[in-house]
Amino acid sequence: MEYKKLKNHLIICGWKEDMEDILLDILRVAPDTDAENIVIVSNVEPERVEALKDRPQLKGLKFVRGDYFAETSLLRANAKTAKKVLILADTLESNAPSEVDSKTVMTVLTVKALCKDVYVCAEILDKKYESYLRHAQCDEIIFSREFSRRVLANTSATNGMSHIIYELLSQEKSRSRIVTHPIPSEYVGKTYGEFKRAFQGEPQRILLGILENTGSPNRIKMESLREAQKTSDVSQLIINLQKVKELEVNRPYLLPDDTYTIQKYSLAILLERVGA
Amino acid sequence: MKQEEILQKLSQIALFDELKEREADLKRLLDIIKIKSYPKGAVIIREGDIGSEMYIVYRGSVEIQKQTRAGDTYTVVKLKAENNVFFGEIALVDDDKRSATVIALEDSEFLVLNKEDFLKLGKTNPEIALPITQAIARILASRLRKTTMDMLTIFDALVNEIQS
């Protein structure tokens, strides 16, 4: 199939055995997304995708059969106008981490070559591929194995830590979740302490920190580059340009000092009661 | 505007340091100085234009703006008359391609020295023009030293970048 009219959709590259659960979780945490706006690109047998559609919530799911790292497949999924591309560590055709991660890097390169403004989130198995993904301008990297290992390590030191993390992400028992919210423009340039005070009368929401450099990485980089030039001091100019080079997209900063200055393109990280 | 007030102002300007004890010479300089007024927001000089006048901020304040290579405008500094500031001094010795735009932040008055008048004064009164020209030469030498340092800073940054 070809989906040339789709816009602002989510493309999922690759396949996982628990694909149904992944899709249902996506629909649960993003209520504004429906299956009509999700395209799976994979070499999986079409019958398995059809089987997913037995679920009423997944009825409109779209599918492009082919190599997810191939430009032709991504063009058929209309990657140029997608809102986000999520690349899974797909072990359908190979279990070798190096092969799986290499395909992921190739996919990021292909998507970014088609449209550098599309937000790309990639899951990798081996952390040594992180630098390749960063060079390929990947916007967000998920280290699923590393994440599990760290949860295990934390659990050995603190009782219940895995339950806390699971609950924060699943919202199965408590009615709270971690979310990001836009920061009102009047707080840009102000301190974290001043922003924190705005939450004092809100028991339903707790401010956890700031997510820096959010939005289109390309736009942020270009704007930062323009801002960096606004000095007549060459030493300062070089410092500014180095900062642009090291700019990290979507960098979380949990519980910063009260003196921390809130930058443009930041979001507030909140723990909030569901329905607040 | 009293002549004494203007003489007092001239004696406080760094460019005329060597003349500050020489009241007769300052008065001679005063003869070729014009007073210009600009309303708030007026552009006094524009970056890239060729100019032939030097300005001393006599009353009010100005903002110095520059453009980046990307064409964005930014503020370099804001200057008040109390700080005894001047700009465009290179225009006294050469046609000056203005390196920045200067805008009046409020209704302001300037003491303006024109290149042609200054060169004429230099021919008849070299004892007045020479110390001013020397002061301008010192400013240029200082800028050249800074440019050399800037080049070395850029060179070091480039080498570091290649090494990393």
Which structure tokens are listed for B158? 């480039």
Q: Does the pLDDT value for residue A255 go beyond 80? A: yes
Average pLDDT taken over every residue of chain B: 91
Are B153 and A231 within 8 A, CB to CB?
no
Q: To the nearest 10°, the Cα dihedral for A73, A75, A81, A86?
A: 20
Amino acid at A153: A
Put simply, whether A246 touches B (Cβ < 8 Å) is: no
Find, in chain A, the residue whose alpha carbon is nearest to that of B73: A230
Of A268 and B22, the structure prediction assigns the larger pLDDT to A268
What is the pTM for the complete model shown?
0.66
pLDDT at position A1, please?
A: 67
CB contacts, 8 Å: B157 with chain A: 238, 241-242
Min Cα distance B129 → chain A (Å) is 31
Are A230 and B69 within 8 A, CB to CB?
no
Q: Does the pLDDT value for residue B4 go beyond 60? A: yes
Put simply, whether A229 touches B (Cβ < 8 Å) is: yes
Min Cα distance A97 → chain B (Å) is 29
Q: Using CB atoms, which residue from A226, A238, A242 is nearest to B153?
A: A238
Up-side HSE of residue A224: CA atoms within 13 Å toward CB? Answer: 24
Give residues with Cβ within 8 angstroms of A20, minimum separation 6: A52, A55, A58
Candidates B100, B101, B125, B129; CA nearest to B115 is B129
Q: What are phi and psi of A102, to 5 degrees?
A: -65, -40
pLDDT at position A97, please?
A: 87
Q: Does the pLDDT value for residue A104 go beyond 80? A: yes
Helix, strand or coil, per DSSP, at residue B146: helix
Are A234 and B70 within 8 A, CB to CB?
no
From residue B112, how far is each of A116, A137, B32 by CA, in Å?
Answer: 53, 54, 9
Element (H, E) at B143: helix B126-163
Q: A145: exposed, middle or buried (C-beta count within 10 Å: 0-12, 13-18, 19+)?
A: middle
Average pLDDT taken over every residue of chain A: 89
pLDDT band at A70 (very low <50, low <70, confident <90, very high): very high
Q: In chain A, pLDDT over 70 holds for what percent of residues?
A: 98
A contact test, residue of B64, B69, B74, B156 with most A CBs within 10 A: B74
Instruction: Report pLDDT digits (tens) over B109-140.
Output: 999 999 999 999 999 999 999 999 999 999 99
Are A234 and B74 within 8 A, CB to CB?
no
Are B72 and A232 within 8 A, CB to CB?
no
Q: Does the pLDDT value for residue B1 go beyond 80? A: no
Contact indicator for B85, B57 with CB cutoff of 8 Å = yes
CB contacts, 8 Å: A242 with chain B: 157
The interface predicted TM-score (ipTM) is 0.72
Are B76 and A229 within 8 A, CB to CB?
no
Which structure tokens are listed for B139? 């400013």
Q: To the nearest 10°, the Cα dihedral for A34, A36, A41, A44?
A: 90
Could you count the other beta carbons within 10 Å of the beta carbon of residue A123?
22
Contact indicator for A16, A90 with CB cutoff of 8 Å = yes
Q: Does the pLDDT value for residue A148 go beyond 80? A: yes
